[in-house]
Structure 1
Amino acid sequence: MGGRLEVRITPADVGKRVSVRRVVGVPGEDAKFTDTVGVLTSWDGGVLSVTTKSGGSVRIAESSLVAGKVVPAAPARRRGPAASFGELALVTARAWQPVESELLGDWRLRAAGGFTRRANSVLPLGDPGLPLGEALGRVRRWYEDRGLPAYVQAATGAEGTQERLCAGLEEHGWRREVSAEVRIAALAPVGDLDADVSEVRTARQPDEAWLSRYQRSGTPGPHVRTVLGNGPSVWFASVPGDGPAGVPAAIGRCVVDGRWAGFMAVEVGPEHRRRGLATAVMTALARTALDEGASAAWLQVESDNEGARALYDRMGFATHHRYHHFRSA
């Protein structure tokens, strides 16, 4: 941390981004220092809780602190367009809309027959108008009425994200089930990639062949088509396969919303991988979005999908923030 070691934070700094150093082990024997950076989400009973940008919550005994200070928000990224968390949260939500929704204060409860967590989770952008425990009880009952597990989607890692809500969910027994990165990039370089797009076909609706390649739906019912087909300006891309079944070699989906183009459902058949088809699909969709006036790109990728993350690294996508789905115990 540099400079004189001094604890310069107090319980009054809850909600601020902090950097703390603590001693772990027995002083004078096997002790070592450990640093943690994140949002100070609570300080009760001599224990601090710091939520890191990855969404993990670190509990720290006050007696182990050797240094601590409030630090500014992470500097703006040098790659990609400028974007706030609030703007991206709304853009990404409009690109993956539920079949039904209901407001609880500023929270939006979303359901789509269980098709994907994104369309079957609470989007908590603001105050529910109730104490957290009471609001979560209402959420549980709403999803129980629909025969669905209750999820809340909450974000970490950028200015204005929801570290305190994540900590509150954990305190009420909700557990993180999956985490993903929201990545952004300038759109033009994606459209300029050296990819063979001659075989990529685009359409406004997914046909049966496209759906046969899509791996997240099983047998697609009307609710699946509703989620996939809704959005400000939706495009589907596919590369024909070379087998008799008519299953595409690769597919993708793009939603154009003002300056943003969001990329989803990019899938390549196992037998067709390492041929640049994912890049070709995204390049073709990016050129379509550029024609509609978009200039910025976003996508979501699960944190453990190393292959996709490496591909998006090469395309110039940088992580803006992370989001997590918490499930009711």
Structure 2
Amino acid sequence: MEFTIGGRLEIRITPADVGKRVSVRRLLQEGPAGPKFTDTVGVLTSWNDGVLSVTPKSGESVRIAESALVAGKTVAAAPPRRRGPAASFGELARVCARAWQPVESEPLGDWLLRASAGFTRRANSVLPLGDPGVPLDTALARVRQWYADRGLEPYIQTATGAEGTQEELCAALESAGWRREVTAEVRIAALAPIGDLAAEVSRVRLGRAVDAAWLSRYQRFESPGPEVRAVLGSGPSVWFATVPGDDGDAAPAAIGRCVVDGRWAGFMAVEVAPGHRRRGLATAVMTALARQAMDEGASAGWLQVEAENEGARALYDGMGFAAHHRYHHFRPSGPA
């Protein structure tokens, strides 16, 4: 932390700087080994009767006597952190799971084994939200067998990056020979700013059921078996958005899906035809769905975006979505 000009410590703050962010150095004590100093960065909240009060990010004010102050300067304000609404990992994980329900599931202690004939990893992976009730080796063997019985690859979905997530489980899976295959971010945001966007929503059509036209734009399957409609139609309050294509186009220009669940609105399957990109259609779809969700009482939004999807990440950055945690899909690296 640099306070010097030409090698000299300087005090370049005054009582007129109250309310500004400052960096100060003060003397703690003199001793045989020389003086000891400490630095504090925070907001200068008061300067009265020879005493400064500086409040750092911790929120606990530091009182500093003027006589102990040896250097000080104003500093640029910290960049604002883009946060969505407060949410625990457990709450958000369950909301996400309810918005993308499997065709078949079975509990293993606090783990949930999910299968949907292979349609998406999320609907064909274990959701471990606690203790499986048996030793990990036993649990992993049961997971392998359960998915093998259905002709599916075994996957376990874990999360990292927030309080209550599963860093220890990730390490244990790696030690057991499982390898991380896919990583994505779960992002959250306040819903009202999305609904307030000046987007052209007049072309966006909302409906409760997925139809053949909507499915023709969705890119997550080769042919839409019954499991596709079952998963897409699952959730507390499901909405599908469609922007029709130009005359003669059978497939829509853009689509999206939203699931309203209490205060949360989850956004999924937002896709735009290549020939219609950079026209604001993804924003229009998100805005129309956000307004519908707010009409049902939702106030917060969430979505999932894969780490390498730079276009989607940029779009959601602009809407105020900030990372809450990451989720990963682990798969065994070899045979049982």
**Alignment TM class, shorter chain as reference:** 0.7 to 0.9
- Describe how 1:51-130 pairs up with structure 2 within 5 A: 79-130=83-134
Q: Does 1:146 align with 2:162?
A: no
CA separation in 2, counterparts of 1:286 and 1:218? 29
Q: Does 1:322 align with 2:321?
A: no
The runs of at least 4 consecutive aligned structure 1 residues that moved more than 2 Å come to: none
Aligned residue for 1:184, secondary structure, equals strand
Deviation at 1:97, TM superposition (A): 0.3
Post-superposition Cα deviations, 1:37-66, rounded to whole Å, max 9, x if no partner, equal xxxxxxxxxxxxxxxxxxxxxxxxxxxxxx
**Which of 239, 246, 252 pairs up with 1:242?**
246
- Describe how 1:157-196 pairs up with structure 2 within 5 A: 157-196=161-200
- Describe how 1:198-237 pairs up with structure 2 within 5 A: 198-237=202-241
Q: For structure 1, which runs of at least 5 residues remain unmatched after alignment?
A: 1-76
Deviation at 1:245, TM superposition (A): 3.8
Deviation at 1:244, TM superposition (A): 1.9
Q: Does 1:312 align with 2:327?
A: no
CA separation in 1, counterparts of 2:170 and 2:309? 23
Q: Which amino acid aligns with 2:158?
A: A
Q: Which amino acid aligns with 1:165?
A: L
Question: Relative to structure 1, is the Cα distance of residues 83 and 107 closer, same or farther in structure 2, using a 3 angstrom cutoff?
Answer: same
Post-superposition Cα deviations, 1:126-180, rounded to whole Å, max 9, x if no partner, equal 0001111110000000000000000000000000000000000101111111000
Q: Which amino acid aligns with 1:139?
A: V
Identity between Structure 1 and Structure 2 (%): 79
**Which of 193, 201, 216 pairs up with 1:197?**
201
Post-superposition Cα deviations, 1:184-229, rounded to whole Å, max 9, x if no partner, equal 0000000001100000000001110000000002210110000000
Deviation at 1:78, TM superposition (A): 5.5
Post-superposition Cα deviations, 1:223-265, rounded to whole Å, max 9, x if no partner, equal 0000000100000001000152420000000000000000000
Task: Return the TM-score normalized by structure 2.
Answer: 0.75
CA separation in 2, counterparts of 1:276 and 1:233? 26
Q: CA RMSD in A?
A: 1.1
**Which of 254, 266, 281 pairs up with 1:277?**
281
Aligned residue for 2:258, secondary structure, equals strand
Q: Select between 78-87 and 270-279 the one with higher mean Cα deviation.
A: 78-87
CA separation in 2, counterparts of 1:166 and 1:185? 27
Aligned residue for 2:185, secondary structure, equals strand
Aligned residue for 1:265, secondary structure, equals strand
CA separation in 2, counterparts of 1:112 and 1:292? 29
Q: Which amino acid aligns with 1:152?
A: I
Q: How many residues align?
A: 254
